Amino acid sequence: MVTKRSSHLDRILGRLDDLDSVNLTILVQRLARERELLETVFNVIQEGILVISRTGIIEYSNAAASQLIGLRESEVGQAVLWKLMPDLARTLSLDIDAKRSASPSISREVEVTYPEHRFLRLYMVPLNESETNSDKSQFAILLSDITEDKVSTEELIANEKLSSIFDLAASVAHELGNPLNSVNIHLQLMKRQLAKLGAGTEAEKLKESLRVCSNEVERLDGIIAHFLNAMRPQPLDMQDLQVLEVITEVIEFQENELKDLGINVEVAIREDLPHLMGDRNQLKQVFFNLIKNAMEAMDRGGELRISTRSDDQFVYVHLADTGQGISQEDLAKVFNPYFTSKAEGHGLGMMIVQRIMRDHGGQIGIDSQYGTGTVVTLQFPQKHRRMRMLEQRSE
């Protein structure tokens, strides 16, 4: 027969009726000091510690856990873990029935996107096993940040490739810029010499040729500048924005090209869609690249449908085209640098889109069937989540 050992606290509590007011005050002060000591110890631990109820209410959180999940001190005892961390909530199930073990311990690795994109190792265990199936049951959760450990050799190589691409792009742009500047200078000299020759048929022809050359040099210079801006990560200029406005601006810019291809664009976006915090120009680049890809994937007369939905935490934008689709083999490579199925593509567009989405705390997903079409889904954190993330980082 196994007997349950009584703790020092249990023995003291059992004598409460025998304590006078002086000793009771001493006991309360001692307990307060011990609580303060324990909280100090818990707050210097690097692992996150949570205590939650069966319904997910966070009853205790140490400093590390609060940072990992973006929890304010004032929210302890009120915030529901499932709403604060939907990515984490999907990995847990506290709906324990009688058929399951009385000790539903859980250990697993999870990926979360709020308040930052991280990989966590989670261990959950019931605190009061005798009440596992009770509404009063509590669970302790230990969270360890394993993001750095999770980065595989393949990802490190990919990062090195990206860095090499950025360096190469800057080097190539510099090497191209110098001869273009030289060509432009010589064109200006030739233009001045022609001006001295006066009017004439041959002179006019040469002037026209010079004008064309100068315009092409200027166009190439603009392409190089645009390419560098696209490749080089830019600091985010965060502002309150409505995704409908951003998409409308991009479609208006691409309107003539869409009409020339006979592509019908259907936009089904609610005007009361929750606002986002984002960099308008960078998000315009995301939609420009995705719509451009859809145009190039469709024959004349195709259809592009842009729709949205939202939940308590996120705004989702879906771009569905009736193009040729992507094979399953190629689908796994679309975010790789230099991968492209186009004859004249550079293979950097989707990599840039993914980088911008991650910088905004969002995600991108692609569903495609070869010969049928492609659906791209963008997941953006709503304004209140993004603001919470920014506040958490500033603390």
Q: What residues does each domain of the chain span?
A: 45-149, 153-231, 238-394
Per-residue pLDDT tens digits for 140-165: 899 988 887 766 655 666 666 666 66
User: Is the whole-model pTM more than 0.85?
Assistant: no
Give me the mean pLDDT over the 186-192 stretch.
Answer: 79
What pLDDT was estimated at residue 100? 41
Does position 314 have pLDDT exceeding 60, yes or no?
Answer: yes
pLDDT reported for residue 199: 67
pLDDT in tens, 244-292: 889 999 998 888 888 888 888 888 877 778 888 888 888 998 999 899 8
CATH architecture, range 238-394: 2-Layer Sandwich (3.30)
Rg (CA), the chain: 30
Residue type, 134: S
- Residue 238: what pLDDT? 86
d(CA 331, CA 84): 32
Give, in degrees to the nearest 5, the angle at Cα 267 between 265 and 273.
160
Cα separations in angstroms, 269 against 113, 272, 274, 306, 315: 25, 9, 11, 8, 11
Of the listed ranges 95-99, 146-150, 301-305, the least confidently predicted one is 95-99
Residues in the chain: 395
Residues with Cβ within 8 Å of residue 129, at least 6 apart in sequence:
102, 103
Output the CATH code of domain 153-231: 1.10.287
Judged by average pLDDT, the poorest of 189-193, 293-297, 308-312 is: 189-193
Q: Check pLDDT > 50 for residue 324.
A: yes
Burial of 16 (0-12, 13-18, 19+ CB in 10 A): exposed
Contacts for 249 with CB less than 8 Å, ≥ 6 apart: 284
Mean residue pLDDT across the chain: 76
Structural contact between residues 76 and 93, judged by C-beta atoms closer than 8 angstroms: no
The residue-averaged pLDDT of 119-141 equals 75
Question: What are the residues whose beta carbons fall under 8 Å from the beta carbon of 221, sequence distance 6 or more?
Answer: 177, 180
In CATH, what number does 45-149 get?
Answer: 3.30.450.20
Exposure string (b/e) for 121-147, b if CB count within 10 Å is 16 or more?
A: bbebebeeeeebeeeebbbebbbbbee
Q: Answer for the pair 111, 129: CB distance below 8 angstroms, yes or no.
A: no
